[in-house]
């Protein structure tokens, strides 16, 4: 499916910045399109699917499989000023850590990156952004829940705890080689647990904040929810609005990265639940059960982003949780109303 408004005047001059967002049907990609449109850019989105919860703000949206070279040639049929490559086969712990999707994760995401990057090079695209992940960091450095080490330089010797992390590391290196060998303006960020409205919350790909918001929204006051692991594993979570701020600042800076884009406000998973329960105004009991949990501790280290961009996220976790819980509760209520 496709609709288009030409970004080029009949006299051939571009009227505005032309931007491509790959993965524009996904969570971060759909927010990014909205933000770029608000800035006045002409935006093309590309994805396997349209956004699930709201119509895309893109001027032009190509629904297609970016593993296919002919699709990518259609998507990148011109020089874009900026390309944001967010498309990936990914999900939360229930998707990434079971092992059942490992081959798909590695094959699909690597194919997308190989195709998109090379085609962007041949079209002479101005800048290309790649969304890597905190999942690239070595598992040995994340065993102490109170003191994980996720400084950018600690990525090597590499030992990610998932194939998802290995593919991200490979693709980081791929982008960096195109920067070195082909003179491309490449930017690489390592996102740390991005959450917010319009994200997966019930399709098996949801991450911890969305899963906890859903469980608590569905749970009666005084009820019990299941929690994977002992709840003492630590993480930090960044609301999508600050993720976009960091992404755009990095893209328009002269720093290549890789650099962390994440929050330094670390919480335990039990602590996350307590916060959401307080926002919901409910007493919630926790039933800890075996399940995929990933590393014991993870937190963003923001020294490099502060040094290079003079900026780092500052919003409190609770601000983002309040917005996300309100949105997921509305989705749960809508589901109940539709079912009755
Ligand atoms: P998402 O799953 O919502 O978005 C990814 C999009 O890629 C989806 O809409 C999906 O349909 C699309 N896609 C997958 N395979 C495709 C294909 N073959 N062709 C075309 N499109 C395809 O994920 P997100 O949370 O928005 O994440 C965006 C990017 O950021 C991903 O690369 C992800 O790995 C990375 N990242 C996200 C987080 C996070 O916490 N959300 C953390 C670290 C890194």
Q: List, in order of start, the domains of the chain with CATH numbers.
A: 18-195+237-261 (3.40.50.720), 208-235+265-297+316-339 (3.90.25.10)
Q: Which ipTM score applies to this complex? A: 0.99
Q: pLDDT tens for residues 164-202? A: 999 999 999 999 999 999 999 999 999 999 999 999 999
pLDDT of residue 3: 43
In ligand 1, which atom is closest to the CA atom of 25? 9
pLDDT of residue 14: 52
Pair 30, 41: CB distance under 8 Å: no
Mean pLDDT, the chain, rounded, equals 93
Which residue's C-alpha comes closest to atom 39 of ligand 1? 194
pLDDT of residue 12: 52
SS3 106: helix
Rounded Cα gap, residues 278 and 224, in angstroms:
15
> How much of the chain exceeds pLDDT 90, in percent?
86
Ligand 1 center to 338 CA (angstroms) = 28
3 state SS for 253-313: CCCCCCEEECCCCCEEHHHHHHHHHHHHCCCCEEEEECCCCCCCECCCCCHHHHHHHCCCC
Ligand 1 center to 315 CA (angstroms) = 23
Residue 258: cis peptide before it, omega within 30 degrees of 0: yes
Query: Is residue 13 over pLDDT 70?
Result: no
pLDDT of residue 140: 94
Token reading at 110: 């690597």
pLDDT category of residue 318 using cuts at 50, 70 and 90: very high
pLDDT category of residue 291 using cuts at 50, 70 and 90: confident
Q: pLDDT tens for residues 33-70? A: 999 999 999 999 999 999 999 999 999 999 999 999 99
pLDDT of residue 339: 78
Q: Which residues are catalytic?
A: 164
The residue assigned the tokens 């490979």 is: 170
Which of 2, 20, 24, 26 has most ligand 1 atoms within 8 Å of its beta carbon, as the pocket-test mutant? 26
Ligand 1 center to 28 CA (angstroms) = 8
Rounded Cα gap, residues 253 and 316, in angstroms:
25
Ligand 1 center to 85 CA (angstroms) = 9
Count of C-beta atoms within a 10 Å radius of residue 274: 16
Query: Does 208 sit in the ligand 1 pocket, CB within 6 Å?
Result: no
Query: Does 141 sit in the ligand 1 pocket, CB within 6 Å?
Result: no
């Amino acid at each position: 499916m496709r609709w288009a408004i030409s970004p080029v005047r009949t006299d051939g001059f571009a009227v505005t910045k032309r931007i491509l967002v790959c993965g524009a049907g996904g969570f971060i990609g759909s927010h990014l399109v909205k933000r770029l449109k608000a800035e006045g850019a002409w935006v093309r989105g590309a994805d396997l699917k349209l956004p699930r919860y709201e119509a895309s703000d893109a001027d032009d949206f190509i629904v297609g499989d970016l593993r296919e070279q002919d699709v990518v040639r259609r998507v990148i049929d011109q020089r874009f000023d900026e390309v944001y490559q967010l498309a990936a086969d990914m999900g939360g712990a229930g998707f990434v850590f079971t092992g059942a999707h490992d081959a798909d994760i590695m094959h699909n995401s690597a194919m997308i990156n190989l195709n998109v990057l090379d085609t962007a090079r041949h079209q002479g695209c101005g800048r290309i952004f790649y969304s890597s992940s905190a999942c690239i960091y070595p598992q040995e450095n994340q065993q102490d829940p109170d003191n994980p080490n996720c400084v950018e330089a600690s990525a090597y010797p590499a030992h990610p705890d998932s194939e998802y992390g290995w593919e991200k590391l490979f693709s980081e290196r791929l982008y960096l080689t195109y920067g070195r060998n082909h003179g491309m303006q490449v930017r690489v960020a390592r996102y740390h647990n991005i959450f917010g409205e319009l994200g997966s919350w019930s399709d098996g790909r949801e991450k911890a904040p969305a899963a906890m918001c859903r469980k608590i929204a569905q749970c009666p006051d005084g009820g019990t929810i299941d929690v994977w692991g002992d709840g003492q594993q630590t993480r930090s979570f960044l609301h999508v609005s600050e993720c976009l701020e960091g992404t755009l600042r990095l893209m328009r800076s002269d720093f290549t990265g890789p650099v962390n884009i994440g929050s330094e406000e670390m919480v335990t998973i039990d602590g996350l639940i307590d916060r959401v329960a307080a926002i919901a105004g409910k007493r919630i009991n926790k039933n800890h059960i075996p399940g995929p949990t990933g590393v014991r501790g993870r937190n963003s280290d923001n020294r490099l982003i502060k040094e290079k961009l003079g900026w780092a996220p500052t919003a409190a976790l609770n601000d983002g949780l309040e917005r996300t819980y309100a949105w997921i509760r509305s989705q749960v209520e809508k589901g109940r109303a539709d079912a009755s």
